[in-house]
Structure formats: structure tokens, C-alpha cells
Amino acid sequence: MRILEGNRAATLVKKIEQRGPAALATVEKQVHRIVDDVRKNGDRALRRYAEKWDGLGPKQQLRVPQAEIEQAWRTVSEEFRQALQVAATNIRQYCEAQKPEAWRRSFTPGVEVGHLVRPLESAGCYVPGGRYPLPSTLLMTVIPAQVAGVERICVVSPRPAQETLAAAAFLGVREFYRIGGAQAIAALAYGTKSVPPVTKIVGPGNLYVTAAKKLVAFDCSIDFLAGPTEVVIVSDTGNPSFIASDLVAQAEHDPESSAIFITTSKRLAAQVAKEATTASAENKIAKTSLRTNGAILIAHSPGEAMEWVNRIASEHVTVSEDYLPGVRNAGSIFVGDYSAQAAGDYASGPNHVLPTGGAARFRGGLGVQDFLKTISVQQLTRAGLEKIAPAIVTLAEAEGLKAHAESIRARCARA
């Protein structure tokens, strides 16, 4: 990994800060054609793409039979089943604690206001099935939807691994389609004869998936546009082996992954660079990622280090305890030497579907709140309405909306 300081470090931070969610322009035209084709031709187009790219056999159904899902659970090892149970328990408990509550209060006598919390009617969970099948993503997308109370939850995944199907069986998923890419997003957004449309699409995917989510976002709700994995670690006294292991772990996701270590210690910088080189030696993807998108930045002060952290707004951010109060922008925060980022990827509880491309400036990771909507509610007595009527009438007339004002006068007029 290259070590940068001074102007070179500041220049790299500025470049990273200005990144977008993903390099979507290269695939947008093709994605547009695929989405339009599925929207217009339904199952016929969807099946053609699934057979071409998703490994769907000519005699296979788009929807995975329930018997096949249940058989996957019996096929996987007992060790894997137990691991699913540990991870799912922690994720579910975290989501339960995260769930917002309805409330109603009276701030003005006779005027009661509040909000109701209602689940979305349906959700489509995209689970990648490419270089690495990710049953953990099925847990991370389905469980918060279940905790929210979403009535219909379906999963789409190309070439689903037995472990992914087993995770679906464990969670009681009854609607699973062997489709992926832009065609799967189009089917979820607009529906086909075989795949009913959903209210919201969540989950990470490749460039085609991300571009398709962007395209359908005004017709079907999405979580966010997720790009390559990102990690920023900031420490002055941490364990160099632990730091390097997290950098390599996230770098192995994709050759385009970004891995940044920020420190004020030149000695620690050199140690981490050496450890990262050793740890990634046998991992071709991580080695490429660290070489092209990895860097160690030496800050002049802790203040400058935290300024860089917040400007980068990374998906994963690891800090020592003393740096935690200064973190404003991060998808998920890991505190201290033993808070390995892989713990968050699998089993500690918080979600691993996280914002990338600087989106951590305005939102955190996927959660139960993404499957809920809050609906405002208000109830006024006559006395309560009369108390605020003058303000309402004045504002309505100032805007030229006379009927609004009259609707208030009609209720407040004495018989």
C-alpha cells in the first residue's frame, strides 16, 4: 500500500470525497434496454435473460419450488445451520430494538398530534450470487423486513447457492426467484406474470443491478445505490496486524474496493503497510484492490485525521474509542481493536447493507425503518381549533387560499 502525507494525502482525500455511487454511465444504455424489455415483454424477456446470464435451465421454473428450499436446509452442515441461528438471533434483536414506536401527544390544549407506524406491503430482497454467494445478505435484508411486519417478502438471486436457499428456509421465505441483474430489478419494480411487483427493492448488487435500481427508483422505492466496498480505519496506537487484516478483508470483495488507513504515526503506517502486503500476498483480488485503491494517509493531527474521515464518509469506519465522538459520517462504525469489521458483516447484529460512494453523509445502513412508513395523525377539538384558528386563517389568506381560511371559519362560527 502506498503511504501518502502532506499535499499528496490531501489531494487523494479530495478525489475520494468527490466520488459518486458507482461508474454507472458505462452500463446505463444496456440496462435501460433490459428494463424496458422486461417491462414490455414480461416473463418471456425475463426468462431469456435468466437462461443467458443467471444459469436458469430450460426446464427450470423462475420461482424456486418450496421443496427445493426445504431440501437445502437438510443438505447444509449442522455447523452452518448453527451459524445461521447465531447470526439471525443477533440481527433480529438489533432490529427489534431499532423499531420506532407510534406516539400521540398534545402540545397545545385540544390539539393532539402524532404518528402511526405502518409496514410496507411488500419487499424484494436482492441477494448477490456472483463471485461470492452471500447468504448473509439474505439474513440482513429479510430479517428487518420481517421485524417491520412486511406481509410479502420475496428474494431474488441468480444461481442461488445451497447455503442461500438454506438461509431462506430457516427464515421461512416462501417466495424465491432464480433471477439476477437488471432483469430481476425490472421484474420486482414492474411485475411480470410470474413475479408480482413489490413496494420496495433492497440489497446490494453489481453495476447492472445498481444502474437498474437508479432507473426504476421513481416507480418503485429502493434503499440506496450501493457501489464497491469501502473501508476507512483511523488509529494512532492500534494493533498493526488487526488493522491490516480489516483492510484486506474488505478489499477482497472486489478489485474496485477502497481501503484507507489514516494515522498520525509514521511508525504505525509503515507497520500496517508491511502487514497488509503480507496478508494480501495470496489473495489476488485483495492484492489488486490494495494496489489500485488502497492508501495509508499520514495526518498532521487527530483533528485533521477526523476531518478526512468525515469528508470521505466511508461505508465502514473503524476508530479507537477516543476518536469515536468525532465521527459524523459513516455507514457503520467499529470501535477498538476487537471490533472486527467482519463481525458486522455476519453476526454482531447491525446491518451490512451500507451506503457507499459518499452516501454516508446523509444516511446509515439498511434497517427496520427502511421497511416502515410513519403516517402523521392529528385530532382537534373545537376549542383546540379555535385556539390556533387565527394563525391558520392569517397564513391561508397570505397565500391567497381563501377556501382554506373559510374551512376554518365554518367550524369556528358560533351557532
- The catalytic residue positions are 315-316
Handedness of CA 378, 383, 384, 385 (dihedral sign): positive
With residue 261 as reference, give the H or E element that holds it: strand 258-263
CA dihedral of 293, 224, 360, 251, whole degrees rounded to 10: -30
- Report the DSSP pairing between strands 122-126 and 152-156: parallel
Q: What is the DSSP letter of 337?
A: T
Three-class HEC string of 39-68: HHHCHHHHHHHHHHHCCCCCCCCCECCHHH
CA dihedral of 349, 355, 360, 366, whole degrees rounded to 10: -40
List the one residue out of 373, 365, 334, 73 whose CA is nearest residue 199: 373
- Helices (H), ranges, 227-265: 240-251
Q: How far is C-alpha 286 from the geometric centre of its chain's CA atoms?
A: 22
d(C-alpha 399, C-alpha 401), whole Å? 6
List the one residue out of 29, 364, 26 whose CA is nearest residue 207: 26
Burial category of 161 from C-beta neighbours within 10 Å (exposed 0-12, middle 13-18, buried 19 and up): middle
d(C-alpha 233, C-alpha 1), whole Å? 14
Residue 395 has φ and ψ, to the nearest 5°, of -65, -40
Give first-to-last CA distance, the chain, whole Å: 82
Rg of the chain's alpha carbons, rounded to an integer? 25
Handedness of CA 239, 241, 246, 250 (dihedral sign): positive
